[in-house]
Chains A and B, each alone.
Chain A
Amino acid sequence: MNRAITNPNRAAGMGNAGIAALLSVLVMGLGQMYNRQWMKGIIFLLAELVSLYLIVTSLAYNLWGLVTLGEQSAHMEKIGRLYRNVPGDHSIFMMIYGLVALLYIGLLVCFYIANIKDAYRIGKRRERGEKVNNFRATWRLLGNQGFPYVLLTLPAIGVLVFTILPIIFMILMAFTNYSAPDHIPPKSLVDWVGLRTFTNLVTLEAWSHTFVGVFTWTIIWAVVATVTTYFGGILVALLIEQQGIKFKGFWRTLFILPYAIPQFISLLVMRNLLNYQFGPVNQYLRMMGLGGVPWLNDPFWAKVTVIMVNMWIGIPVSMILVLGVLTAIPRDLYEAAEVDGATGFQKFRNITMPFVLFQTAPILIMQFAGNINNFNVIFLLTNGLPANGDYAYAGSTDLLVTWLYKLTLDNQRYNFASAIGIIIFIIIAAFSLYNYRRSRSFKEEDMIQ
């Protein structure tokens, strides 16, 4: 098996490479065996046999399930003299199994193509009269050149099963009628409905009204939340870095505190702090003779409150980032400006600000995208409340994400939730793509070296 094999009669019709490739097309691993790579051939052959067995026994049925989503719903059937409840097809499970089957077959096809290519490549090597690797050498080669693949196998499997598969499933859900009250398995079947969910979202009065309202607020929220935390961070950073301020480290540490407290806790605490009746903030306001503010109970004030609380949480992060940038601004720029008699404000406008903006622009867009998906602040602080009677399953401060969450977990409107998820994705993808194309680090990745 580890003998060097040369091929003297290369001229006779098809070369080794062609034959090996053709054999591999017929049966996986056959070409490898023809190339005298027995061990590899046997492994490939086994892979094909196992796959065939799986396809015959279950994968084919699962694929059928993915296409039809089941044909028999739960129903009563006469067994003997009694009517019994017979469980029908569970469309959602069928969909998941079908997806798994599809993924498996996809991977198999990739593997099959790789197998043909491999047979061809080794065959070519034999034609050239080179030595063919034995199994141990192949294995070592895999450990060496394939090292990144070895590293990535485990993470890739995890991501495939717990991220990619669920996301594809979620996307598919938007094209079905999987929704309470009429289409919840196992009681009833779910069917493919094409784009109807999306058109319903836009045309049905109750849904479109909610969608437009929640969408508008999501965008307003994302813009205001990003701008306030970003410029707040710049201001705080500049305040600390001013000439003449003492104990810079002390202030910095103090201001990082909101970032250090787990968001989850600080938000629940804030919720109590701003309680209309008993919260201390209103208590102080009343002591000063001002009426209490309905921080979380009035639709308008609730919106103001979430933005203010978000500033409390978000400014420290921006501050840290800006402080990092500020220390990198060359001192001589300022010195030159001072020689020319620039005022403090002019220095700020013409040196500091452009520098900071240029360095942190990508983060600004990233934070904007993050804020569109900012689930925690809304969910923990207001839970989307105060209620809004005009909305379908949403409150006044609900963002698209929290609406999605409520639609899924509380109301089982899975298809609408998925459609909203896809819309969120499109918005964020558009911004990120724009950001990504601009960012130098991607294009010039190798230039850092």
Chain B
Amino acid sequence: MKQKRRFKLALSYVLLVLIALVCIYPALWIILSSFKVGDSLYSETLIPRQLTLEHYMDLFRSQSDKDLPYLKWYWNTLKIAVTSMVLGTLLQVLTAYAMSRFRFKGRQTMMSVILILGMFPGFMSMIAVYIILLQMNLLNSPWALVLVYTSGAALGMFVAKGFFDTIPRALEESALLDGASHSQIFRLIILPLSTPIMTYIAITTFTAAWVDFIFARLILRSRENWTLAVGLYELVSSYSSTEFTLFAAGSVLVALPITLLYMFLQRFLVHGLTAGATKG
């Protein structure tokens, strides 16, 4: 019996290690590739014989043969992602709060509408958005992108609403009795309680803006206005076979901040994911 148990444990450990390898391998491979000498995809060994920082330097040097304003792209992306995060989180939290805490006319209708809108593929409306932005003279502007990301933020409110639903209503009722206004209640009671869900929403909106290339490619027309996602996608389709290591370095720099953020803020992400799942 004991032996059988030990065998089972050993098998489990073997499986765990195997899964771990599968999880890590692609990340490890791309990181090592980014330090590899030369520019080809093919490598004889996993760990390159010679390491170099050249590809990282290449990203930040202006080169005559390619047009890769990587630093500019990084800055554009950061600007867009941070602004969308702040505005998007604000809108989403406010919407969720209103839907969770108040019973007003049209509430059920609004919730149903939000649900239905979420069922359309997000980019199906691309052409219309394009024309609207064209008419507003906003094409090729990073702010147009922020506008598009932010205006859709309210639609993702169900996770936050589920969270607000769990905050006991007695808290506000007593505050109301003490003469607090609605905005005071929101600022002084609800906001401090909802840091976990705010963090979750902030990370996810930030990431969404950081990695989106569908709308970014549609809206940002000129090369120097691009974001990292658009630039990298372009890099892959035009250079990946010939400049693989450059792509590797570029991807590592794009992925690193997000990955670190996710790993460090895991707790909040797990919280948000599970909250969103059970509350629907």
Task: Tell me if A264 and B273 are in contact (CB < 8 A).
Answer: no
B212 to chain A: closest residue by CB: A264
Q: Which residues of A contact B151 (CB under 8 A)?
A: 157-159, 161-163
Q: Which of B169-222 contact A (CB under 8 A)?
A: 169, 181-183, 207, 210-211, 213-214, 218
Contact residues in B for A240 (Cβ distance below 8 Å): 16
User: Looking at chain B, what size class is its interface with the partner chain?
Assistant: 35 or more
Distance (whole angstroms) from the CB of A273 to the closest CB of chain B: 6
**Which residue on B lies nearest to A379, using beta carbons?**
B214
Cα distance A373–B214 when bound, in Å? 14
Does A410 lie at the interface of the complex (its beta carbon under 8 Å from any beta carbon of B)? Answer: no
Does B279 count as interface, using CB distance less than 8 angstroms?
yes
Q: Complex formed: what's the CA distance from A421 to B198 in Å? A: 32
* Binary A-proximity of B111-146 (CB < 8 A = 1, otherwise 0): 001111101110111111101100100000000000
Q: Is the CB of B168 within 8 A of A269?
A: no
Using known A-B contacts A158-B151, A158-B154, A262-B255, determine if residue A272 contacts B23 with beta carbons closer than 8 Å.
no
Can you spell out 15 A-B residue pairs with CB atoms less than 8 angstroms apart? A158-B152, A159-B152, A163-B117, A170-B125, A239-B15, A254-B24, A259-B262, A268-B232, A270-B26, A275-B41, A277-B42, A312-B23, A324-B274, A359-B278, A435-B280
A144 CB within 8 Å of chain B: yes
Does B52 have its Cβ within 8 Å of any Cβ on chain A?
no
B residues near A448, Cβ cutoff 8 Å: 165-166
Q: A262 contacts B207, CB within 8 Å?
A: yes
Q: How far in angstroms is the closest Cβ of chain B from A269?
A: 5
Report if A317 contacts B (CB, 8 A): yes
Contact A321 to B152, CB < 8 A, known contacts A257-B24, A262-B254, A268-B251: no
Smallest CB-CB A-B distances: 9 pairs:
A166-B125, A158-B151, A260-B262, A166-B128, A155-B154, A148-B102, A162-B151, A169-B128, A324-B274
Identify which of B5, B97, B129, B233 contacts A268 (C-beta below 8 A): B233
Nearest residue, chain A, Cβ from B170: A449
Partner of B121 from A148, A275, A373 at Cβ < 8 Å: A373
Q: Which residues of B have CB within 8 Å of A154?
A: 91, 94
- Chain A residues near B102: list those with CB within 8 A: 147-148
Q: Report B-chain residues with C-beta under 8 Å of the C-beta of A260.
A: 258-259, 262-263, 266
| Nearest CB of chain B from residue A354's CB, rounded to whole Å | 16
CA–CA, A233 to B5, complex, Å?
Answer: 23
Say yes or no: A432 contacts B115, CB within 8 Å: yes
CB <8 Å contact, A449 and B263: no
Most-contacted residue by chain A among B5, B43, B94, B240 (CB, 10 A) = B94
**Chain A residue with Cβ nearest B134:** A93
Q: How many A-B residue pairs have CB under 8 A?
A: 254
Interface 1/0 per residue, A241-255 and B, CB below 8 Å = 010110000010111
- The interface residues of chain A lying within 8 Å CB-to-CB of B165 are 445, 448-449
* Residue of B29, B43, B150, B154 touching A269 (CB-CB under 8 A): B29
A442: B residues at CB distance < 8 A: 280
Is residue A436 contacting chain B, with contact meaning CB distance below 8 A? yes
Partner of B27 from A148, A245, A257, A373 at Cβ < 8 Å: A257
User: Given contacts A155-B94, A439-B280, is CB(A167)–CB(B22) below 8 Å?
Assistant: no
Which residue of chain A has its CB nearest to the CB of B235? Answer: A268
A239 to B232, CA, bound (A): 37
Asked if A436 and B9 sit within 8 Å, CB to CB, the answer is no
B119 A429 Cβ-Cβ under 8 A: yes
Q: A258-B23, A262-B210, A278-B40 are in contact. Are A245 and B12 (CB under 8 A)?
A: yes
Q: Are B120 and A261 in contact (CB under 8 A)?
A: no
In whole angstroms, what is the CA distance A249 to B96 when docked? Answer: 32
Chain A proximity mask over B19-56: 1 for CB below 8 Å, otherwise 0: 11011101101100000000011110010000000000
**Given A151-B98, A273-B26, A369-B119, 12 other A-B contacts at CB below 8 A?**
A96-B128, A148-B98, A154-B91, A157-B151, A239-B12, A240-B16, A262-B211, A264-B213, A264-B232, A271-B236, A280-B29, A324-B273
CA distance A132 to B129 in the complex (A): 45
| Interface membership of B277, Cβ < 8 A | yes
Given contacts A96-B132, A149-B104, A154-B91, contact A164 B124 (CB under 8 A): no
Query: Given A262-B210, A421-B121, A280–B95 Cβ distance below 8 Å?
Result: no
Note all chain B residues with C-beta closer than 8 A to A167: 117, 120, 124-125, 128
Interface residue from A244, A280, A429 paired with B43 (Cβ < 8 Å): A280
Say whether, besides A147-B182, A449-B168, A261 and B98 are in contact (CB < 8 Å). Answer: no
User: Taking the complex as formed, is B270 at the interface, i.e. its CB lies under 8 A from any CB of chain A?
Assistant: yes
Given A162-B152, A268-B251, A441-B278, are A152 and B110 also a contact pair (CB < 8 Å)?
Answer: yes
Across the interface, which residues of B come within 8 angstroms of A312, CB to CB?
22-23, 26
Closest residue of chain B to A429 (Cβ to Cβ) is B119
Beyond A147-B182, A239-B12, A262-B258, whether A421 also contacts B40 by CB under 8 A is: no
Which residues in B have their C-beta under 8 angstroms from that of A425? 119-121
Q: Is A405 within 8 A of B123, CB to CB?
A: yes
How many angstroms between the C-alpha atoms of A441 and B110 in the bound complex? Answer: 17
B229 within 8 A of A: yes
Of B26, B129, B211, which contacts A162 at CB under 8 A? B129
> In this assembly, does B244 line the interface, its C-beta being within 8 Å of a C-beta of chain A?
yes
Nearest residue, chain A, Cβ from B263: A260
Most B-side CB within 10 Å, residue of A323, A417, A449:
A449
User: Do residues A362 and B280 form an inter-chain contact, with CB atoms below 8 A?
Assistant: yes
Q: When A262-B211, A265-B255, A408-B126 are in contact, do A401 and B121 touch as well, CB less than 8 Å?
A: yes
A320 lies within 8 A of B273 (CB): yes
Q: What distance in Å separates the Cβ of A306 from its nearest Cβ neighbour in chain B? A: 15
Contacts A262-B211, A448-B166 given; indicate if A166 touches B129 (C-beta within 8 A): yes
A55 interface residue (CB < 8 Å to B): no
Cα A151 to Cα B29 with chains together (Å):
48
Q: Which residues of B contact A147 (CB under 8 A)?
A: 98, 102, 182-183
